[in-house]
């Protein structure tokens, strides 16, 4: 059975196969718009051959796109009487405080698809209004008349007292032939709005994502009999098709999670912490801060909706190689978030693109070479890039070179803001971190961004352009579960009892997929000072109170140890690791030999310089490349600025540092 990792992006679908000798073979092809499974199956056919059984790990954007576009299943939302407008009202949060007419994201849930239930529990679990059998029958009949594809149930205080929600759920399941999801099972956490939104999203995704996953599994089985298919979850672990279809909301960050998971694994192997990641593809850029191994999981935000389906802490911006450059309403230059996508793609792809993109600007300025794209498998059209750049330059009364430079500067500024968001805005010093750069376009901007952020080192991992697909091959079998507690911090023995049902549930979910041995269990606590909303997440263990106050003071600048520490929630991560793909090889430093020289614009010195070009595939471990230099490979291009030194190290990573 051949192991494959396939990552579907907005522009390209990246695939990596493990060869018989343990090496990696890659394939990159345009994402098939409207039917992304087609590109996945095509990649499998190319790398495995017809009839060959494969073990396919897949990172998908299907759930993400469905939530962003609103192309979802028909869901009836069942809620405690008096709360029918709960999701429509939301939290009334404003992302921009002084906006007079804010456009706040709301689930696309029309009032006609909401059914109220005559029941009510108090916060302590006492019955205010009992849920009768007659009321259950009435609600089931009302829901059935609306002919839903799925049902989401949210009753007040069910995160702690689920009895009435469970009774209603049984009645609905008995009367209806569609999935019925209970908030007490999907997200047993305090905060009715977020719990309701998560349950609604899970139900709305079921008919859409479930059908797509089944179609992919069927197509894979037809093309490659006796194959297995697993999906990447937002938390960086993989799950079977059945597990993914049961709770598709857990796939909301499936695509970018693989790259961050792989980078975290690589940084751990190299002993580097903290680090920031820069994953720049054709449509967007994902950044994250990672410190001390596995990054902490956070609620996922998609399309302005906060979901209690926790995922890796990824911050995304709409800047990628295919981002379109244009004049905005104020007459300034804007880059993204609109993208040329896979079809037609940037103008230089020669598929009919008529607007300038980031990729066109790089090509025009010599930072990419037309004949080296995808390792020489495809050739870019320099004349088309020149044409669209000149057309854009006329709008701003600039020379073509100035215009192309400004396109890259604007794109870079957007990514720099994202890096500052996950570092400086959170009280973290980027000067302490290493920048891990991957994605097809990441290496074109990495050292430039590191210079702006005053970061000392950049690491470009092997197969950088398909690194998320590589990450899929090593992603662990993982389940992460959370339950709200909201009480004063209990003693260690009592805390152990709180973790036990979550650990048992996570192990049972993994056992259903045949994963039963060598499981690692991580126990985490969300802690806060009583009366506050924000939490700090710490691992269970000795001196918990002291560690909390130390972390509190480091985060907020003060602490009051006389205050009560409250346990907001307990969380567990249960996983089985898969073999690390990061072998160490011997190195011996030597000067690399370029294969060509071209004129390249370098923003660090704002000049065009004659620049040596190197092929990464030709470099041996220990090879040195002194900037300015351009290092090409089959799936990506890396710029080494003047004053920087690049070395292919013992991990086969391209490490760039400023020369002393």
604 in any annotated domain: yes
What is the arithmetic mean of pLDDT over 240-252? 93
Assigned token pair, 655 = 């490490």
- Provide Rg for the chain, Cα atoms: 26
Going from the C-alpha of 9 to that of each of 6, 59, 65, 253, 469, the distances in angstroms are: 10, 9, 11, 12, 10
Q: What's the CATH code of the domain at 136?
A: 3.40.50
Average pLDDT over the chain, rounded to an integer: 92
How many domains are contained in the chain?
4
Q: pLDDT band for 583, please (50, 70, 90 cuts).
A: low
Find the CATH number of the domain harbouring 556: 3.30.1490
How is residue 105 annotated by DSSP? Answer: -
- The verdict on residue 316 lying in a domain is no
For residue 283, being part of any structural domain is answered with no
Q: What is the pLDDT of residues 523-580, one digit of tens each?
A: 999 999 988 888 999 999 999 999 999 999 988 888 889 999 999 999 999 999 877 6
pLDDT for position 360: 96
CA distance 241 to 231: 7
Is residue 525 located within the same domain as residue 495? yes
Is 393 inside a domain boundary?
no
Is 388 a member of any domain? no
pLDDT of residue 581: 66
CA 81, CA 158: separation in Å to the nearest integer?
14
Please check whether residues 242 and 165 belong to one and the same domain. no
Q: Identify the bridge partners of residue 122 per DSSP, sorted by sequence position.
A: none
Out of 157, 182, 200, a domain closes at: 200
Whether the predicted pLDDT of 177 surpasses 90: yes
In a domain, 56, yes or no: yes
Q: What is the mean pLDDT of residues 638-659?
A: 94
**Same-domain check for residues 525 and 557:** yes
Q: Taking the CB of residue 488, how many other CB atoms lie within 10 A of it?
A: 10
Q: Strands, E, within 245-393: which ranges? A: 275-280, 285-290, 298-302, 305-311, 315-317, 323-327, 333-339
Which tokens belong to 145?
A: 């008349």
User: Do residues 98 and 189 share a domain?
Assistant: yes
Do 320 and 10 form a contact (C-beta atoms < 8 A)? yes
Q: Are residues 78 and 163 in the same domain?
A: yes
Per-residue model confidence (pLDDT) at position 30: 87
- 518 lies in the same domain as 566: yes
Average pLDDT over residues 68-91: 92
- 261: confidence class by pLDDT, cuts 50, 70, 90: confident
DSSP 518: S
Which pLDDT value is given to residue 283?
Answer: 84
Are 148 and 179 in contact by the 8 Å Cβ rule? The answer is: no
Domain membership of residue 504 as a residue range: 477-576
Q: Which of 287-291, 350-354, 391-395 has the highest mean pLDDT?
A: 391-395
- Asked whether the predicted pLDDT for residue 587 surpasses 90, the reply is no
Half-sphere exposure of 579 toward its Cβ, with a 13 Å CA cutoff?
5
Q: Of 202, 140, 210, nearest to 177 (Cα)?
A: 140
- Is residue 152 domain-shared with residue 40, that is, in the same domain? no
Q: What is the pLDDT of residue 24?
A: 83
Claim to verify: residue 481 and residue 630 sit in the same structural domain? no
Of 576, 610, 636, the position where a domain reaches its end is: 576
Residue 582: the pLDDT is 67
pLDDT level of residue 170 (50, 70, 90 thresholds): very high
Q: What percent of the chain stands above pLDDT 90?
A: 70
How does pLDDT run across 327-372, given as a tens digit for each residue? 998 899 999 888 888 789 899 999 899 999 999 999 999 999 999 8
pLDDT tens, 116-164?
999 999 999 999 999 999 999 999 999 999 999 999 999 999 999 999 9
Q: State whether 162 and 82 are in the same domain.
A: yes
Statement to judge: residues 77 and 196 lie in one domain: yes
Q: What is the pLDDT of residue 373?
A: 87
One domain, residues 174 and 101: yes
CATH code of residue 46? 3.30.420.40
pTM of the model: 0.87
* 6 occurs within a structural domain: yes
The CA–CA distances, whole Å, from 98 to 90, 117, 305 equal 19, 38, 20
pLDDT category at 69 given cuts 50, 70, 90 is: confident
User: Residue 498 in 3-state DSSP?
Assistant: helix
In a domain, 452, yes or no: no
pLDDT of residue 524: 95
Chosen domain end from 554, 576, 598: 576
Residues 628, 538 share a domain: no
- Burial of 635 per CB tally in 10 Å (0-12, 13-18, 19+): buried
């Amino acid at each position: 059975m051949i192991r494959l990792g396939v990552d579907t992006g907005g522009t390209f679908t990246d695939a990596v196969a493990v060869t018989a000798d343990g090496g990696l073979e890659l394939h990159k092809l345009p994402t098939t718009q409207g039917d992304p499974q087609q590109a996945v199956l095509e990649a499998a056919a190319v790398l495995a051959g017809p009839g060959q059984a494969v073990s396919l790990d897949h990172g998908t954007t299907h759930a993400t796109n469905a939530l962003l576009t609103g192309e979802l299943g028909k869901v009836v939302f069942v809620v405690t009487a008096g709360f029918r407008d709960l999701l429509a009202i939301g939290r009334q949060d404003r992302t921009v405080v002084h906006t007079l007419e804010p456009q706040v994201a709301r689930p696309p849930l029309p009032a006609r698809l909401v059914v109220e239930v005559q029941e009510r529990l108090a916060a302590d679990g006492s019955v205010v209004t009992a849920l009768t059998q007659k009321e259950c029958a009435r609600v089931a009949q009302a829901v059935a008349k609306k002919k839903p594809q799925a049902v989401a149930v949210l009753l007040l205080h069910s995160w702690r007292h689920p009895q009435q929600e469970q009774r209603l759920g049984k009645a609905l399941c008995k009367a209806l032939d569609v999935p019925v999801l209970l908030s007490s099972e999907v997200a047993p956490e305090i905060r009715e709005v977020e719990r309701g939104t998560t349950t609604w999203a899970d139900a709305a995704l079921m008919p859409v994502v479930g059908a797509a996953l089944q179609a992919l599994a069927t197509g894979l089985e037809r093309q490659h009999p006796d194959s297995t298919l697993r999906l990447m979850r937002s938390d960086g672990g993989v799950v079977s098709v059945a597990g993914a279809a049961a709770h598709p909301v857990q796939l909301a960050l499936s695509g970018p999670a693989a790259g961050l998971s792989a980078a975290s694994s690589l940084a751990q192997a190299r002993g580097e912490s903290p680090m920031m990641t820069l994953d720049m593809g054709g449509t967007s850029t994902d950044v994250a801060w990672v410190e001390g191994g596995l990054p902490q999981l956070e609620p996922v935000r998609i399309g302005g909706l906060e979901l209690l389906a926790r995922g890796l802490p990824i911050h995304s911006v709409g800047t990628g190689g295919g981002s379109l450059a244009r004049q905005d309403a104020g007459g300034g230059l804007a880059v993204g978030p609109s993208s040329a996508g896979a079809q037609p793609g940037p103008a230089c792809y020669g598929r009919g693109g008529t607007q300038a993109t980031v990729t066109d600007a790089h090509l025009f300025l010599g930072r990419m070479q037309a004949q080296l794209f995808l390792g020489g498998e495809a050739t870019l059209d320099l004349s088309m890039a020149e044409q669209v750049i000149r057309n854009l330059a006329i709008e701003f009364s600039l020379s073509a070179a100035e215009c192309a430079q400004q396109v890259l500067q604007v794109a870079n500024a957007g990514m720099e803001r994202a890096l500052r968001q996950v570092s400086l805005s959170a009280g973290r010093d980027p000067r302490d971190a290493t920048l891990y750069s991957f994605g097809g376009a990441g290496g074109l901007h990495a050292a430039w961004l590191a210079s702006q952020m005053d970061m000392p080192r950049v690491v470009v991992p092997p197969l950088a352009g398909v690194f998320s697909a590589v990450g899929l091959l090593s992603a662990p079998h993982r389940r992460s579960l959370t339950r709200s507690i909201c009480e004063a911090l209990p003693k260690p023995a009592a805390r152990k009892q709180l973790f036990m049902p979550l650990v048992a549930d996570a192990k049972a979910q993994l056992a259903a997929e045949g994963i039963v041995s060598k499981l690692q269990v991580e126990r985490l606590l969300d802690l806060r000072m009583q009366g506050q909303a924000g939490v700090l997440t710490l691992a269970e263990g000795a001196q918990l109170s002291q560690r909390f106050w130390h972390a509190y003071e480091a985060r907020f600048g003060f602490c009051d140890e006389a205050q009560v520490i409250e346990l907001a929630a307990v969380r567990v991560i249960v996983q089985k690791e898969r073999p690390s793909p990061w072998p160490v090889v011997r190195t011996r430093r030597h000067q690399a030999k370029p294969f060509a020289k071209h004129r390249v614009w370098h923003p660090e010195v704002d000049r065009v310089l004659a620049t040596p070009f190197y092929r990464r595939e030709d470099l041996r471990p220990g090879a040195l490349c002194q900037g300015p230099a351009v290092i090409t490979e089959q799936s990506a291009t890396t710029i080494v600025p003047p004053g920087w030194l690049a070395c292919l190290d013992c991990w086969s990573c391209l490490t760039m540092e400023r020369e002393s």
